[in-house]
Amino acid sequence: MSRFGAGAPTSARWDVRRMNDPNPLWGSNGVAFGPDGRLHVAQYLAGTISAVDLATGEVEVVEPVEGPVQSPDDLAFGADGSMYITDLAPGRVWRRGPAGDYALVSDAVAVPNGIACVGDRLFVNEMRMGGRLLELFPGGGEPVALAGGLALGNAMQQGPDGALYYPHMLTNQVFRTPLDGGPAELVAEDVHEPVAVRFDRDGVLHVVSRGAQGIVTRFDGDRRTLVTSGILGLDNAAFDEENRMFVSSYASGGIAELHPDGRTRQVVPRGLAGPYGLTVDFGGQVLAADHYRVARPSPEGFTADEFLIFAHGVATTPDGHLHLTSQFGDVRTHDPATGETTIRAHSLNRPTGIAVRPDGALLVAETGAGRVLAITDEVAVLAEGLDSPVDVTVDDDGRCYATTATAVVRLDDTGPVVIADDLAAPQGVAAIGDTLYVVEVGAKRLRSVSVATGETHVEVEDLAVGTPAPASTTPPLYCHGMPGVAPQFAGLAAGGDGTLFLSANGEGTVLHLRPRA
């Protein structure tokens, strides 16, 4: 399942094992049945669309990352079999013809998300405050607004009465609007964190929740019932010809059949969206920052039961607190015991790796600003003028190291000192004794560096690290204030027994590396 088609890692010095299975779906967002009967799945974080055979669970990539679509969030099929796709971060809507040809329908929609086809007509809404519900014209013509004032629109569908039904995610409401425009009508309020509106084959309205409990609210006439799936971060749903409900999860991917009583059957396994940064807590357990959550090992691989939104770097302290860097430019401290989160720094330019110094200060690589910060009650600059620092670590003597675009540097009081240079996109770094270990994403290998001599050795090769770059322009980090596509990095953490944990974010696994005797 590596996105590079690579085999297993090779090493003469280390035994390498996967702690979880590779991820078949890199998050699962919009879902819709295609003309071939397969369930098509938009994968926003991966920039791909896959088709799932629900009978076998087989997954086929039909829109690869090399295609024109950068961040597919939702999709729908037209009467002629064309697939229409909302490309959220760059703000585009695409048509993929039955023969696989692409045409840009519109680039005039801000944060396009929910999409619906009604016969030959195409409708899209915007996931932003004051958003619009629009009709688009694939054959040409300016978009026509049917409704405005949406408080973050999302997945929508035509109801039995002919109107389009859609959620306002921010206000926990569901509205409907006639196809030819007119005043939006409130259908339901106090709906649990609505993210998608779907009707089953009997015309019963189901509203999917994006929350931690995986709730679906069912409206059958005047009767409202809640079905709890337990799937963190539901995103969308589709009903097959037998009226079976299949749901997706933006937080952990996979496809599951959801029964009316809340029971689930996993068709495509869930998995990690990254992983990004890693840490080992003081009980010896590895934790993975996984964009929407911090995941822990479990019998199913890695799981999490709470959201820690846009977590990229992670570190721990003896009090059990988690310290996180966020895509929104924050550094946060989270107490799992109370659920409380404290913002330690904000408005940073792409904070990524994080470590804890012996005096308790948080060390943060601020990639976009070329700095490493030391955060206590205040934010201080430990080093600046660095070339895109990605990760930081601290050795047993309290000395701080950082990876930059091509080097590993030690951050002394007098300035950065190069320990090793001419590396291939070094990212994750960890210290064991007087040796540093570095993930070279550009060469897909792990390298050791002697702190004393600077001598280096290749330790592991053929790692599934890094992510393929799309052929088109890199999507923005933010789009109209909403999160764009996250920059990913391959993290590394040292266990207390001389082992290493590595983020194989090219396949969605955490690798456990143990030195051979």
Contact 423, 393 (CB under 8 A): no
pLDDT at 291: 92
33-42, 51-60, 139-148, 474-483: least confidently modelled range: 474-483
Contact 503, 274 (CB under 8 A): yes
CATH of 31-268, one of 3.60.70.12, 2.130.10.10, 3.40.630.30, 3.40.630.40: 2.130.10.10
Average pLDDT of the residues in 206-234? 95
Report the distance separating Cα 427 and Cα 395, nearest Å. 17
Question: What is the distance, to the nearest Å, from the Cα of residue 79 to the centroid of all Cα atoms in its chain?
Answer: 31
Reported pTM:
0.94
Average pLDDT of the residues in 153-157? 98
Residues of the chain with pLDDT > 90, as a percent, come to 87
For residue 283, give the nearest of 60, 496, 35 by alpha carbon. Answer: 496
Run of H or E including 102: strand 102-106
**Amino acid at the residue 240:** D
Higher pLDDT, 378 or 27: 378
Report the distance separating Cα 402 and Cα 386, nearest Å. 9
Report the distance separating Cα 147 and Cα 125, nearest Å. 9
Give the SS3 label for residue 506.
coil
Average pLDDT of the residues in 188-197? 98
- In the CATH scheme, what architecture does the domain 14-20+272-515 have? 6 Propeller (2.120)
Q: Would you place residue 26 in the very low, low, confident or very high pLDDT band (cuts 50, 70, 90)?
A: confident
**Amino acid at the residue 415:** G
Contact 357, 396 (CB under 8 A): no
Q: What is the mean pLDDT of the chain?
A: 93
pLDDT of 470 above 80: no
pLDDT of 298 above 60: yes
pLDDT of 327 above 90: no
Q: Would you place residue 473 in the very low, low, confident or very high pLDDT band (cuts 50, 70, 90)?
A: very low
CB atoms within 10 A of CB 411: 21
Q: What is the largest CA-CA distance in the chain?
A: 75
pLDDT of 484 above 70: no
pLDDT at 517: 79
pLDDT of 2 above 80: no
Average pLDDT of the residues in 433-460? 96
pLDDT at 467: 76
Give span(s): CATH 2.120.10.30, the chain: 14-20+272-515
**Amino acid at the residue 290:** D
**Burial category of 283 from C-beta neighbours within 10 Å (exposed 0-12, middle 13-18, buried 19 and up):** exposed
For residue 469, give the nearest of 66, 163, 109, 105 by alpha carbon. Answer: 66
Q: What is the pLDDT of residues 273-287, one digit of tens each?
A: 899 999 999 999 999
Q: Would you place residue 482 in the very low, low, confident or very high pLDDT band (cuts 50, 70, 90)?
A: low
Report the distance separating Cα 41 and Cα 43, nearest Å. 6
- Angle made by CA atoms 283, 287, 288, in degrees to the nearest 5: 170
Contact 332, 294 (CB under 8 A): no
Average pLDDT of the residues in 73-90? 96
Give span(s): CATH 2.130.10.10, the chain: 31-268
Report the distance separating Cα 365 and Cα 233, nearest Å. 29
